[in-house]
Copies of this chain bind each other. A is one copy, B any other.
Amino acid sequence: MTDIRPLLDRFRAGQRAALARALSMAEDRRAGTDELLAALHPATGRARRIGLTGPPGAGKSTITTRLARHYREAGLRVGIVAVDPTSPFTGGALLGDRVRMESVALDEGVFIRSMATRGSLGGLAATTRELCDVFDAFGMDRILVETVGVGQSELEIARTADQSVVVLVPESGDSIQAMKAGLMEIADVFVVNKADRTGADRVKHDIEAMLGLRAGLAAHAEPAHHGVDLKRIGNPSRAARKATAEALETGGPWVPPVLLTTGTTGDGLDALAGAVDRHFAYLETHGGLRERRLARVRQRVVDVVEDRVRRRLWLDGATNAWLDAQVEPIATGATTPFAVADALLARSGDLITGKRA
């Protein structure tokens, strides 16, 4: 067994190299990972985990970088997990993002880990949860989880955070219908980035309409803007401000605000940080935070259980050899996937439960 004590000592002493090593261990699930994470577990639970998700090209990395700077100015320490589920090799466009992000990486109070692994046995959402745990145990105050894309796996990754920011751009209009259900479910705060482009107000209006905000607050409704009003960048509409204020006071349902930002200039970023803070206060006051965190803890156990079952079965030489011999009989119709699955489980009890290695 790998002796993790030297690493743990250096990690607890706050050494960045030990943090890097611990993150790599967890990402690659090297020998000793479970022991390491178990040892770090009691030190977790202090960081606020903020997910940022949205389509490619929405400017998530710029927003992430700006948010990190904002938190640094408040004296907070920031960990960033950048997940790129669609690409095992960070390509041209994304590399540019990473380089931009390096501007904050020179800051001792910020640590960035890009994760581009695919097809991991444990799943990206599970690994993301673990990297966040490592950052949390290291003493980071804010953990930003950035995911590219809005597919099912990306939404699952976003769900690993306490709060989720969905970043769109004026050009996202056409995709909103397609993304609707998933986004509605996870978004605590919406951002329309690149708000200096045509159509930002329209997208903001569309999202608010989908949220039922304009319908529900018809009395306070403002006329719809179809051009871009730069003065309103980062400035929630009166109706939206009123809705969040009411939610905070009365414990009514949280209505995700829709903010306009321009990541490249920083316009609207303070307002975004403010909205994220207000949402966190809402979660703390009305109990949603505790529920989200307990649900995450429960999901961690489910992840670990399923991960162990998969590893114990599919990394076992004898099981694989046995299964290989069944493939041809299934293909010819002599047996079925179900009969083989039953037989496989029947012979694997001790392997799965850990009684036999």
Contacts and interface: CB of A to CB of B under 8 A. Distances in A.
Contact of A88 (B181, B331, B346): B181
Interface string A262-287: 00000000000000000000000000
A38 interface: yes
Contacts of A313: 305
Nearest to A344: B305
Interface in A102-145: 118, 124
Given A88-B181, A327-B298, A345-B353, A339 B124 contact: no
Interface in A158-191: 174-175, 177-182
B91 A333 contact: no
A339 B310 CA distance: 17
Contacts of A177: 91-94
Contacts of A87: 178-182
Contact of A34 (B300, B330, B338): B338
A51 to B, nearest CB: 15
Contact of A86 (B178, B297, B323): B178
Interface in A298-333: 298, 300-306, 308-310, 313-314, 323-324, 326-328, 330-331, 333
A345 B354 contact: yes
B56 A178 contact: yes
What copy number does this chain have within its complex? 2
A340 interface: yes
Contacts of A300: 330, 337
Given A178-B86, A294-B331, A301 B344 contact: yes
A350 interface: yes
A30 B217 CA distance: 42
Contacts of A326: 301
Contact of A37 (B333, B338, B345, B349): B338
A288 interface: no
A92 B175 CA distance: 11
Contacts of A340: 301, 304
24 contacts: A34-B338, A41-B333, A45-B333, A85-B152, A86-B152, A86-B155, A87-B179, A87-B180, A87-B182, A91-B181, A93-B174, A94-B177, A152-B152, A152-B154, A293-B331, A294-B327, A301-B330, A301-B337, A303-B337, A305-B313, A306-B306, A308-B342, A342-B354, A349-B350
